[in-house]
Amino acid sequence: MDDQTRMLTGLTGLGGLSQPDVGDPDSVRKQQSLGQPQQDIGDILQQIMAITDESLDEAQARKHALNCHRMKPALFSVLCEIKEKTVLSIRGVQEEDPPDPQIMRLDNMLLAEGVSGPEKGGGSAAAAAAAAAAGGSPTDSSIEHSDYRAKLAQIRQIYHSELEKYEQACSEFTNHVMNLLREQSRTRPISPKEIERMVAIIHRKFSSIQMQLKQSTCEAVMILRSRFLDARRKRRNFNKQATEVLNEYFYSHLSNPYPSEEAKEELAKKCGITVSQVSNWFGNKRIRYKKNIGKFQEEANLYAVKTAVDAANVSAQASQANSPATPNSGGYPAPCYTPDGRL
DNA sequence: ATAAATGATTCTAA
DNA sequence: TTAGAATCATTTAT
């Protein structure tokens, strides 16, 4: 009841009425002499106050009558104003939406991955860049790449359909609530501003759902990326020639099998692989050789023989025909010319 | 089908 | 940063 009297007090004040004490029958009598508007409002307020005491049918009828009253719009706006000041101002202030950094992050990532961005161009470009960064060979990278793109498109499609579903549900629900509030605003003070606020609340709720969707989409993309960009998954053995070059260097520098940066570059060029692949190879070779020297003994002997034969061939300068019994594979275009025969 | 080989990655420590 | 070690995921050999 306290609220009601507060509202009524505010109403009369704002409405330019001098007598706030409408509950007092005396004041009503006094108002009757003050002119039509005051008397109307006093009437209306009394009817509103009494409406809860009436039966449902009576109340319904009364509601209708009040609704059609010519003072209704003015009263309504004033009541709304009061409600605004009393109820809504209490919690309405701190609800300014800060640009959520979390959702910004997700948005940025989805955009970067080409999920939420422009249709085909961005996605394929991103995928191509990723594939290129992974250092895949150009032939199979296009195959892998199309596969990657297909999966990414699938994710994007799911993402968009889900997003659309949520947006539709959100707008449906918003509409429903708005209609409800508009309907109710005929009988209780609900300002457009309040409806707006309610809509904002609904949108916040739905955007948190959207954030979950974005998060799971991001996860899916990350998994996809790790699957396709992990070079372990599309490993190809080096060709025989490259392996020979590497082994030759390794076994001819067995006492110190750590090629310098320049040596690595040269080996990389000779083998048609990258410098980091050369580094990987030597890293693996060293540890595996050390772990089981016995197992590599045969290989070591073979390459020792091979370098000796090559050296002999170089010194003999091809004046004689090569013996067909050489253990290495035929057609070795660039014999190892390592000038530093350290061992 | 299973084991071995192999290139790549990840982690730790220097 | 780099080497070493462990491990992964794939290819090749059995």
Report if residue A301 sits inside a domain: yes
Most confident of A135-139, A202-206, A222-226: A202-206
Report if residue A73 sits inside a domain: yes
Report if residue A50 sits inside a domain: no
Q: Are A277 and A265 in contact (CB under 8 A)?
A: no
Three-point CA angle A70, A76, A82, nearest 5°: 145
Estimate to the nearest angstrom the gap between the alpha carbon of A234 and the chain centroid.
27
A103 and A88 share one domain: no
A262 and A227 share one domain: no
pLDDT of A16 above 50: no
A53-67, A114-128, A195-209, A270-284: the lowest-pLDDT one? A114-128
Ramachandran region, residue A135 (left: φ > 0; alpha: ψ -120 to 50; beta: rest): left
Predicted pLDDT of residue A95: 54
Whole-number Cα distances in Å, A112 to A100, A119, A161, A163, A218: 18, 13, 19, 18, 11
A111 and A188 share one domain: yes
A275 touches strand C (CB under 7 A): no
pLDDT of A11 above 80: no
A104 and A205 share one domain: yes
Look at residues A215, A231, A247 and tell me which one is the last residue of a structural domain: A231
For all residues of chain A together, what is the average pLDDT? 73
A130 and A151 share one domain: yes
A126-130, A249-253, A287-291: the lowest-pLDDT one? A126-130
Most confident of A42-51, A62-71, A189-198: A189-198
Confidence band of A91 (pLDDT split at 50, 70, 90): low
Reported as a single tens digit per residue, the pLDDT across A159-187 is 999 999 999 999 999 999 999 998 888 77
Report if residue A17 sits inside a domain: no
Report if residue A327 sits inside a domain: no
How many Å does it take to go from CA A81 to C1' B9?
66
Confidence band of A129 (pLDDT split at 50, 70, 90): very low
Report if residue A210 sits inside a domain: yes
A78 and A110 share one domain: no
Q: Are A284 and A293 in contact (CB under 8 A)?
A: no
Most confident of A5-19, A218-232, A235-249: A235-249
Confidence band of A275 (pLDDT split at 50, 70, 90): very high
Q: What's the full length of chain A, in residues?
A: 343
A108 and A187 share one domain: yes
User: What's A293's domain CATH number?
Assistant: 1.10.10.60
pLDDT of A131 above 70: no
Estimate to the nearest angstrom the gap between the alpha carbon of A226 and the chain centroid.
16
Look at residues A231, A263, A289 and tell me which one is the last residue of a structural domain: A231
Report if residue A338 sits inside a domain: no
Structure tokens at A154: 């699938």
Share of chain A above pLDDT 90, in %: 27
How many Å does it take to go from CA A229 to C1' B11?
20
A72 and A113 share one domain: no
Predicted pLDDT of residue A161: 94
A74 and A137 share one domain: no
Report if residue A256 sits inside a domain: yes
Strand C: positions under 7 A of a protein C-beta atom: 3-12
A189 and A127 share one domain: yes
DSSP symbol at A86: I
A256 and A281 share one domain: yes
Predicted pLDDT of residue A72: 77
Predicted pLDDT of residue A90: 54
Look at residues A231, A256, A278 and tell me which one is the last residue of a structural domain: A231
Q: Domain residues for A78?
A: 55-92
| Total number of domains in chain A | 3
Most confident of A23-37, A106-120, A233-247: A233-247
Which residues touch A209 (CB under 8 Å, ≥6 apart)?
A166
The A 217-236 residues near strand C by Cβ under 7 Å are 230, 232-236
Taking the whole predicted model, whether its pTM rises above 0.75 is answered as no
Q: Closest residue by Cα to the C1' atom of nucleotide C3?
A: A283
Strand B: positions under 7 A of a protein C-beta atom: 5-10
How many Å does it take to go from CA A167 to C1' C3?
54
A208 and A271 share one domain: no
Rounded to 10 degrees, what is the CA torsion of A169, A170, A173, A178?
-150
Q: Which residue has the higher pLDDT, A98 or A186?
A: A186
Q: Are A71 and A41 in contact (CB under 8 A)?
A: yes
Residue with tokens 């073979």: A302
Q: Are A150 and A120 in contact (CB under 8 A)?
A: no
